[in-house]
Structures are given as structure tokens and as C-alpha cells.
């Protein structure tokens, strides 16, 4: 699925009046709310690239974070938003302290932007159906343990099913994963539900739950609780913990699971690599939560994996595509093979 250039959306009705010949002033700094002083023109056009910038500002909340996500400068983001406001003749941002916030008109526009983006994806999918399916390329974005425990089965099946299809894999997590999905750098996103992921109600995406990934407790072999059939999390409140970065899905989930068990973990090792985490547990440096998606990696490691007592901690894994793209035959095939792989019993 190679990204296509973003066209201008223009109504076919001719302009009711010639465009104004007076030059528009170029704002400096963040685009504050401005009385633009002219009614909406029946022939206005919208640059979809600028809509993408506005959508990202809604998600990120600041010009600096938006610029970083889109690999632009804050000045370029500000200019794109100001140009979009001039195109439409309405203010889209207003000053909020040292930053900006969206106006009511911007939120109305964003609601329409979701519909526009979904319709373009449907058009892309219909064209793919019309032509020869099973060729071209598709990019899958996925979190690390999903790449280890879920994608290989799906990719093997895809290679057999669509031998001429090129599949690229990118390791990414929300929110960056969904910025890439919005921008067309990723066609299929596989993610975990946590605070940085979009809500189920986000109409920009068609999503489907794939599996519930249970988390087990990894203990050093000489840990006092290592011989237990199961270990209540609360009994590990005084242990040293090995946990991923707080912004990563597994790091965030581990922290929330421990909080639900009634304690704040003593985190002394911040590790995102699963092999490195296993090495630290083997060395007696702490305990950790390990998703069953990567359980097979630990089969020959000198550590103990034990289920948590009571209701097992888990995380929800889902697949998402841009709304409308689910009709694309290649995207549909990828989703189907992911669904099949997720339904297989864990090793």
C-alpha cells in the first residue's frame, strides 16, 4: 500500500465571486484566533496535508509536539495552520497562555475531516479491488512483543497466500504508530490498549480486537516464591522490579497492574528489550511481568514463570486501519491472517 499524493477537495460549483486581490498577511508565531473578516466562499478548497496537521494538533495538544511528530518545525506547523485558516476564512486556533487551543470551528472541521479521510480510503480500496489484487506493498506497524509472538505466523501465511505482495514491518507504539497510520507510512497498526492508544470510539479507524495477552510473573530461580504454583502480585510489593519505559505499552501496563494490586513497584531497572529483561531476572536483579506472546523466548532461560494469583493481569491487543481501508483486498488479507494467528493457542 504505497501512499498516494493528497489532492485538493474542491466542489464542482463555480465560484460565486472572484477571489479577493488583496494580499493576506503572514502571521509570525503561533496562529492565534483572528477575525478573518470574510464569509465562507462557496468555492473554497481544502489542502488535505494541512488537515493532517490540524488532526495531529488535536492529538498532541501543542505546536511543539505536533512538529516533532510530523518531522516539521513549529514555525512550519504554525504556517500550515494559518494557511488552512485563510483557505476557509475561519479561525482554527486561539491563544491559550503560551500555546494555542482549537476553536469551535476547528472541531467542526475535524469532524468532517474524519469523513473525508474515510471516503478517500474507500476510494483507494475500490480501485484496488478493480485492479489486480495481491500485488504492491503493505506496511504493518506493531509493538515489539507482537512482532515476536504474533506477526511471524501471519506473515508466513501471507507469503503463501499472496506471494507477490511485499510486506514491510515497522516497530512502533502509540501515539507515534497512529501518527504513521494517519500519514500513510503504515497501513495496518497492531497495538495494545493503554493510555496512549486511541479510544474505541475514534472514528478515524476501523479496529478489531485480536487477543487478550495474559502477563505472567518472571522470578529468579532462587526466589522464595519460585516454587509456588501461582504468586499473588501483592506479595511482590517489597521486591525490586524490572519494568519497561513508562511510555511503552508494557511499561505502562505493568505500572497500572501493580497499582490495581495495591502497591507502587520499586523500579530499579528500566529495560524494554525482552532478552535483556530475562537476563536481569536470571541474575537475581528483580522480578518482572512477561506477556505470553514472548513466553517461548524464555523456554531455556534460568528463571521461573508463574501465573499471578486471582484474576490474571492482561492487556488487550487489537488491529486498526484507516476507516474505509478495510475494503482494500490486501489490507483485508492482512487482517484475516492476523485474526487467524491470534486465535492459535499460545506456545
- By C-alpha distance, which of 103, 74, 77, 76 is closest to 90? 103
pTM: 0.69
Answer for the pair 286, 241: CB distance below 8 angstroms, yes or no: yes
Give me the pLDDT at residue 28, please.
42
Cα-based distances in Å from 208 to 161, 205, 211, 219: 22, 10, 10, 33
Task: Give the separation between CA 222 and CA 151, rounded to whole angstroms.
Answer: 34
Cα-based distances in Å from 51 to 42, 180, 253: 19, 15, 32
Q: What are phi and psi of 216, to 5 degrees?
A: -105, 165
Give me the pLDDT at residue 345, please.
64
- By C-alpha distance, which of 146, 184, 177 is closest to 325? 184
- By C-alpha distance, which of 243, 207, 232 is closest to 316? 207
Task: Give the separation between CA 328 and CA 187, rounded to whole angstroms.
Answer: 10
Give me the pLDDT at residue 263, please.
97
Task: Give the separation between CA 285 and CA 287, rounded to whole angstroms.
Answer: 7
Q: What is the pLDDT along the chain (347 residues), one digit of tens a residue?
A: 444 444 333 433 333 444 444 444 444 444 444 444 455 555 567 788 888 899 889 888 899 999 988 889 999 999 999 999 988 888 999 988 888 899 999 999 888 888 888 888 878 777 765 555 566 889 999 999 999 999 999 999 999 999 989 999 999 999 999 999 998 999 999 999 998 999 999 999 999 999 999 999 999 999 999 999 999 999 999 999 999 999 899 899 999 999 999 999 999 999 999 999 999 999 999 999 999 999 988 888 899 999 999 889 999 999 999 999 998 999 999 999 999 999 986 55
Task: Give the separation between CA 229 and CA 307, rounded to whole angstroms.
Answer: 8
Give me the pLDDT at residue 29, please.
45
Task: Give the separation between CA 288 and CA 145, rounded to whole angstroms.
Answer: 15
- All cell numbers assigned to 263: 502497591
Amino acid at each position: 500500500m504505497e501512499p498516494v499524493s493528497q489532492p485538493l477537495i474542491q466542489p464542482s460549483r463555480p465560484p460565486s465571486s472572484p477571489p479577493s486581490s488583496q494580499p493576506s498577511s503572514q502571521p509570525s508565531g503561533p496562529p492565534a484566533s483572528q477575525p478573518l473578516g470574510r464569509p465562507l466562499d462557496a468555492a473554497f478548497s481544502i489542502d488535505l496535508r494541512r488537515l493532517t496537521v490540524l488532526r495531529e494538533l488535536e492529538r498532541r495538544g501543542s505546536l511543539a509536539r505536533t512538529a516533532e511528530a510530523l518531522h516539521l518545525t513549529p514555525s512550519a506547523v504554525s504556517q500550515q495552520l494559518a494557511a488552512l485558516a485563510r483557505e476557509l476564512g475561519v479561525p482554527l486556533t486561539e491563544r491559550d497562555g503560551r500555546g494555542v487551543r482549537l476553536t469551535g470551528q476547528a472541531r467542526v472541521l475535524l469532524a468532517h475531516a474524519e469523513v473525508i479521510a474515510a471516503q478517500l480510503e474507500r476510494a483507494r480500496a475500490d480501485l484496488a479491488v478493480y485492479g489486480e489484487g495481491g500485488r504492491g506493498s503493505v506496511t504493518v506497524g506493531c509493538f515489539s512483543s507482537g512482532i515476536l509472538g504474533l506477526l511471524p505466523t501471519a506473515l508466513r501465511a501471507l507469503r503463501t497466500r499472496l506471494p507477490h505482495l511485499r510486506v514491510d514491518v515497522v516497530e512502533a507504539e502509540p501515539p507515534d504508530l497512529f501518527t504513521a497510520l494517519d500519514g500513510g507510512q503504515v497501513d495496518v497498526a497492531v497495538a495494545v490498549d493503554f493510555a496512549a492508544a486511541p479510544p474505541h470510539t475514534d472514528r478515524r479507524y476501523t479496529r478489531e480486537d485480536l487477543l487478550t495477552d495474559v502477563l505472567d510473573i518472571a522470578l529468579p530461580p532462587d526466589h522464595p516464591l519460585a516454587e509456588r504454583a501461582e504468586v499473588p502480585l501483592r506479595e511482590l510489593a517489597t521486591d525490586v522490579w524490572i519494568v519497561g519505559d513508562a511510555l511503552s505499552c508494557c511499561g505502562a501496563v505493568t505500572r497500572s497492574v501493580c497499582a490495581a494490586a495495591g502497591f507502587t513497584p520499586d523500579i530499579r531497572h528500566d529495560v524494554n528489550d525482552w532478552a535483556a529483561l530475562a537476563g536481569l531476572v536470571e541474575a537475581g536483579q528483580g522480578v518482572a511481568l512477561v506477556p505470553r506472546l514472548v513466553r517461548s523466548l524464555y523456554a531455556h532461560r534460568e528463571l521461573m514463570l508463574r501465573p499471578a494469583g486471582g484474576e490474571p493481569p492482561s492487556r488487550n491487543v487489537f488491529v486498526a486501519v484507516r476507516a474505509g481501508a478495510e475494503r482494500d483486498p490486501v489490507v483485508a488479507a492482512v487482517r484475516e491472517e492476523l485474526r487467524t494467528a491470534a486465535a492459535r493457542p499460545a506456545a
